Amino acid sequence: MQNSYQPKPGDRVIRPRRIKQYRLRRILGIPALFSAGYGDVGSSIYYALGIVALVALGATPIVLMIAGVIYIFNALTYAEGSASIPEAGGSASFARHGFNDMVGLIAGWALMLSYIVTMSISAYTIPPYLSYFWPVLRDPVIGTLVSMGIVAFLMVINVLGVRESSRVNIFFIVIDIATQITLVVLGIILILAVNPAVLFQHMFGAGNWPSTTNLIFGIAIAALCFTGVETVSQLAEETKQPAKKIPQAYVLMIIAVLVLFAGISIVALSAMTPQILGDPINGWARDPVAGIAANLPSATLQSIFAPLVAILAASILLTASNAGLMGISRLSYNLSSHHQLPATLSRIHHRFRTPYIAIILFCFIALLVLTPGFFSTNFFADLGALYVFGSLLCFALAHAAVLSLRIRKPELERPFKLGWNLRIGGRELPMTALLGLIATSGIWLIVVITQPYSRWVGLIWMAVGLIVYAIFRWKAHLPFFHASKKPG
């Protein structure tokens, strides 16, 4: 029977269109993943060592070792989570799947803070390294101005859509690792082997051991050294065979990071006292690797490594600052596409095809974060503590989400599954995730209680995110907690 329906005047006739779906290309392998992740964690060597020494003094190698164990827990949790949920978003995606949209927003908003501080602190430590060529850059006011100029420059090139090359990143990472290994070997042979007692004296000598409060805070601030796990997870949708290659990249990062940080911290404390290493004004807190190069017992070696470290550090830190900005744009898109933030933040420029609103907004926030550098003497440590506030909250929620997924979704395919499981109620809960949750949440609480700057700035930041989320969900007539489907 022929359909005799005819539209009436005023009726809207809707003709469905075929909408082409665009997905990220899966082109990244282990070298690209490792270089991206190590680009973050490797860059942190160039500034985090100084912040840790500023707080932990002679206990720096010990707190780094403790933080390194926590880093292993974090990397293993992200390996399981990223292999099971191979989508951009990192801890925000884990929390959304493991709990609900609101918890996912909390993780994502905390991660956003970490990215902003990563961008700021990386830019802030470029001028001290370049001061080898231009000493005026060691001035706090001029250095802060240059740092803000770097953020503004990155904002412009990211809005314009200038892309970085993963091959160039890999090249710089290889040179960087080779240089750091060489410095460690030279330091052990020329400094530590010649006078083994110097390390013991600089660690345990009079005035070199920190107070109990600073020792605990040193462990917290050492989390700044072990970044990069979120970076690899954010690239899950662009990775070939993510279930296999992401865990392998994490294993490589664990080995490289622990070996290099152990070597660099020991050589640094052998070459100089913790007070000199951790002095942000007249010492080497903002450029600790340059301090190692400057204290090599050979004028020839100093003339070779000092300019090399300055150039490498500036290059790696610029890459890390840009990676933080790129992470913000990826994360903004992920949160917007799952109705956790307004779609405005993921709006793409009609000409440059970049999320220009998110880039401009969060770069201006990074500039505000850098403002205390003009007048605050504690700014460097405060900046590190603010990063720890965001990153430890992300890590704690990532551990909790993986544990929740083990309970709520035992049938979920897990190409990489953590071992050492504790069986409770017929469910297998990984011990590394349990220990990681206890450690990261406990240290996060210590930072909140003891550090007023990071406490208030961090809590205000989280409150703003929750208010924006609540208003957006209310106006969109969406439930606050229930997970929503990603739009087609």
Strand, coil or helix: what is 462? helix
Rounded distance between C-alpha atoms, residue 222 and residue 78, angstroms: 19
* DSSP annotation string for 352-402: T-S-HHHHHHHHHHHHHHHGGGGT-TTHHHHHHHHHHHHHHHHHHHHHHHH
pTM of the predicted protein model: 0.84
Other Cβ atoms within 10 Å of 218 Cβ, number: 25
Write out the E strands in 287-352. Answer: none
Structure confidence at residue 132 (pLDDT): 93
**Dist. CA 35–CA 228, nearest whole Å:** 10
Range 6-12, long-range pairs (CB < 8 A, 24+ positions) = none
**Whether 394 contacts 230, CB under 8 Å:** yes
Taken in order of first residue, the domains within the chain and their CATH numbers are 30-475 (1.20.1740.10)
Distance, CA of 394 to CA of 94 (rounded, Å): 10
End-to-end CA distance of the chain: 35
Task: Give, for 480, the enclosing helix (H) or strand (E).
Answer: none
Q: Residue 412's CB: how many other CB atoms inside 10 A? A: 11
d(CA 418, CA 429): 9
pLDDT tens sequence for the chain (488 residues)? 444 445 444 444 444 444 344 444 555 677 777 776 776 777 788 888 888 999 999 999 999 888 888 888 988 898 898 888 887 778 899 999 999 999 999 999 999 999 899 899 999 999 999 999 999 999 989 999 999 999 999 898 888 875 555 565 667 778 888 888 899 999 999 999 999 899 999 999 999 999 988 888 888 888 776 666 777 776 666 677 777 777 788 788 778 878 888 889 999 999 999 999 988 888 898 899 999 999 998 899 999 999 999 998 888 888 888 878 877 877 888 888 888 988 888 777 777 777 888 889 999 999 999 999 898 888 888 888 898 899 999 999 999 999 999 999 988 888 888 888 888 888 889 999 999 999 999 989 988 998 899 999 999 999 999 999 999 999 988 888 875 554 33
Residue 10: its pLDDT value, please? 46
**Which residues are bridge partners to 429 per DSSP?**
422
Helix (H) and strand (E) counts in the chain = 17, 2
Residue 427's region, left for phi above 0, alpha for psi from -120 to 50, else beta, is beta
Burial 318-350 (b: 16+ CB within 10 A, else e): bbbbbbbbbbbbbbbbbbbebbbbbeebbbeee
